[in-house]
């Protein structure tokens, strides 16, 4: 018997010609406005600049501290360019620390936002909307055939998805609670995550519960064997010292905040084999790497699919999620949450995964690999030529680009970042000893011409620091 097709009210609405015409008209005016934000622009009016400073000052007073940059966006942009409320336009190469991979006011994403204007603004765990279901399904469709990840739980921050990861692992491994993490890792700033995050400044005045042991992350200065001896030696020492107490090993396969550090596949394989033997869960934090490397997941780029038990994603997805295998599915009550995201964000997240996986971004010949290679080539041209001695190391993995300017001290990095900002390019920093300029560029909308423009600004700024 043929099932009767049922159309919901929202489906009839979005397929109606009235809706389609209204949406097309709205997107047309949005696009026209967006197109006017078409390149770096400085504000020349003294009066407007003063007004802008006033409104920044108000924000600082209300927040209780100065912002890192004098940045307040107007809510519109185009491609890698974003307009600030003083009417100036910046080239955004840090994209909210990795959120806006498709730049600003992307027409296809604007269309999703318009379609997301339904009955509810935010969705939650108790009463999810269709957008929640579609996003979880779409992400799970791309975990890869060798992966054992089966479930996805939506959350509103990367930190919370790591909290959920920790809780489901501890429940499964109870009474073991301790975690192996890595030097220079970043996991967020909640009470539990600040203990995993390897930065004492982020836990000043906070308690430390002795639940985390930091293993040395891979160093390119040592051989593979030396690295493995160092990491696995400490791991064995700890496992022998606290038998039955360790529940998991957690790491970023490409460290973000830590300075875009990565290890070769063999290192991870040996590490994960040892972890498996010790009965540890393998928990990968892909909050910064998700979507940015030569595969949707960095574990796919490194061929580690079968090892991972729990993975967290966020940032460019516009939503955050904890992904886990059947084995780690928690008992009811352990995880929940009022909010899982706005309908528009969840809808846009689904579209972003579709665009990333259908538009030729991945693989050795994909758009990310090509733009990444071109960026690296242009930075090398600078460091070998006009900026010799002004650019030290470069670290590049897909859409994660970093380089050491001048001495690599924090003072020098901050000086360069402020000058870049004034010249129209927004970037940030990562690492330490040396510090690096960190770029998480909107490769989803960038061309080689944009990279040339960015490198032109970088060159000008570095040369201005010479004297």
Ligand X SMILES: Cc1ncc(COP(=O)(O)O)c(C=O)c1O
Binding part of the chain for ligand X, among 10-18, 154-162, 235-243, 300-308 by CB under 6 A, reads 154-162
Q: Interaction with ligand X in 271-310: which residues (CB under 6 A)?
A: 285, 287-288
Strand partners for 154: 321
Binding part of the chain for ligand X, among 115-123, 184-192, 337-345, 408-416 by CB under 6 A, reads 184-192
399 lies in the site for ligand X, by CB under 6 A = no
Q: Please, which residues have CB within 8 angstroms of residue 300's CB and are 6 or more apart in sequence?
A: 144
- Closest approach, Cβ 98 to ligand X, in A, equals 7
* Residue among 431, 446, 426, 440 at smallest CA distance from 392: 431
User: What's the angle, vertex CA 146, arms to CA 309 and CA 298, rounded to 5?
Assistant: 65
Binding part of the chain for ligand X, among 30-38, 78-86, 158-166, 400-408 by CB under 6 A, reads 158-166
199 lies in the site for ligand X, by CB under 6 A = no
Binding to ligand X by CB under 6 A, coded x per residue (else -) over 40-79, reads ----------------------------------------
* Residue among 455, 271, 298, 435 at smallest CA distance from 378: 455
186 lies in the site for ligand X, by CB under 6 A = yes
| Comparison of 111 and 271: residue with beta carbon closer to ligand X | 271
Cα–Cα dist 81/85, whole Å: 13
177 lies in the site for ligand X, by CB under 6 A = no
Q: 158 near 174, Cβ under 8 Å?
A: no
- Closest approach, Cβ 317 to ligand X, in A, equals 10
Strand partners for 282: 249
State the residue number with the nearest CB to ligand X. 158
Q: Interaction with ligand X in 358-397: which residues (CB under 6 A)?
A: none
- Closest approach, Cβ 379 to ligand X, in A, equals 22
- Closest approach, Cβ 298 to ligand X, in A, equals 11
* Residue among 69, 64, 35 at smallest CA distance from 52: 69
| Comparison of 98 and 424: residue with beta carbon closer to ligand X | 98
Asked, as a colleague might, if the bond just before 434 is cis with ω within 30 of 0, I would say yes
184 lies in the site for ligand X, by CB under 6 A = no
| Comparison of 80 and 158: residue with beta carbon closer to ligand X | 158
Q: What are phi and psi of 343, to 5 degrees?
A: -55, -40
CA 239 to mean position of chain CA atoms: 32
Helix (H) or strand (E) holding 92: strand 89-92
| Comparison of 83 and 257: residue with beta carbon closer to ligand X | 257
158 lies in the site for ligand X, by CB under 6 A = yes
Q: 292 near 440, Cβ under 8 Å?
A: yes
Q: CA-CA distances (angstroms) from residue 167 to 139, 178, 334? A: 22, 11, 7
Q: 340 near 124, Cβ under 8 Å?
A: yes
- Closest approach, Cβ 323 to ligand X, in A, equals 14
198 lies in the site for ligand X, by CB under 6 A = no
Q: CA-CA distances (angstroms) from residue 136 to 77, 149, 177, 352? A: 28, 12, 28, 13
Count of residues that bind ligand X according to CB under 6 A? 15
Given 79, 314, 330, 366, the residue binding ligand X (CB under 6 A): 314
Q: Where along the sequence are the contacts to ligand X (CB under 6 A)?
A: 97, 157-159, 162, 186-188, 252, 256-257, 285, 287-288, 314
């Amino acid at each position: 018997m043929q099932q009767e097709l049922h159309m919901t009210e929202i489906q009839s609405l979005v397929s109606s010609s009235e809706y389609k015409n209204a949406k097309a008209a709205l997107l047309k005016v949005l696009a026209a406005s967006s197109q006017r934000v078409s390149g770096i622009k400085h504000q020349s009016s003294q009066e407007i600049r003063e007004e802008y400073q006033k409104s920044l000052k108000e924000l600082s007073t209300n927040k209780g501290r100065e912002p890192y940059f004098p940045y307040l966006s107007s809510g519109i942009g185009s491609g890698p360019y974003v307009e600030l409320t003083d009417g100036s336009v910046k080239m955004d190469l840090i994209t909210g620390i990795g959120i806006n991979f498709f730049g600003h006011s992307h027409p296809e994403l604007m269309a999703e936002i318009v379609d997301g204007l339904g009955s509810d603004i935010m969705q939650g765990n108790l009463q999810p909307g269709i957008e929640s279901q579609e996003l979880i399904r779409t992400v799970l469709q791309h975990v890869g055939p060798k992966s054992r990840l089966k479930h996805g739980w939506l959350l509103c921050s990367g930190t919370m998805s790591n909290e959920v990861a920790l809780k489901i692992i501890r429940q499964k491994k109870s009474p073991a609670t301790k975690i192996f993490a890595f030097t220079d890792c970043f996991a967020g700033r909640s009470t539990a995550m600040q203990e995993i995050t390897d930065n004492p400044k982020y836990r000043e005045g906070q308690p430390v519960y002795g639940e985390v042991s930091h293993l040395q992350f891979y160093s390119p200065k040592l051989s593979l064997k030396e690295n493995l001896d160092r990491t696995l030696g400490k791991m064995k020492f700890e496992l022998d010292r606290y038998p039955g107490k360790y529940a998991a090993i957690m790491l970023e396969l490409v460290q973000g905040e830590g300075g875009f550090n990565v290890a070769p596949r063999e290192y991870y394989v040996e590490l994960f084999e040892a972890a498996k033997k010790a009965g540890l869960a393998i928990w990968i934090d892909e909050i910064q790497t998700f979507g940015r490397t030569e595969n949707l997941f960095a574990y796919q780029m490194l061929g580690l699919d079968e090892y991972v038990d729990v993975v967290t994603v966020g940032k460019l997805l516009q939503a955050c999620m904890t992904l886990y295998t059947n084995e780690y599915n928690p008992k009811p009550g352990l995880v929940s949450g009022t909010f899982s995201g706005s309908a528009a964000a969840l809808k846009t997240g689904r579209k972003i995964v579709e665009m990333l996986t259908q538009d030729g971004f991945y693989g050795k010949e994909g758009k990310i690999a090509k733009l990444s290679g071109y960026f690296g080539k242009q930075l090398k041209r600078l460091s070998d030529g006009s900026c010799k001695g002004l650019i030290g190391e470069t670290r590049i993995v897909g859409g994660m680009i970093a380089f050491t300017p001048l001495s690599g001290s924090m003072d020098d990095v901050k000086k360069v970042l402020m000058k870049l900002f004034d010249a129209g390019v927004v970037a940030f920093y990562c690492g330490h000893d040396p510090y690096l300029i960190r770029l998480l560029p909107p490769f989803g909308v960038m061309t080689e011409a944009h990279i040339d423009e960015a490198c032109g600004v970088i060159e000008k700024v570095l040369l201005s620091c010479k004297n």
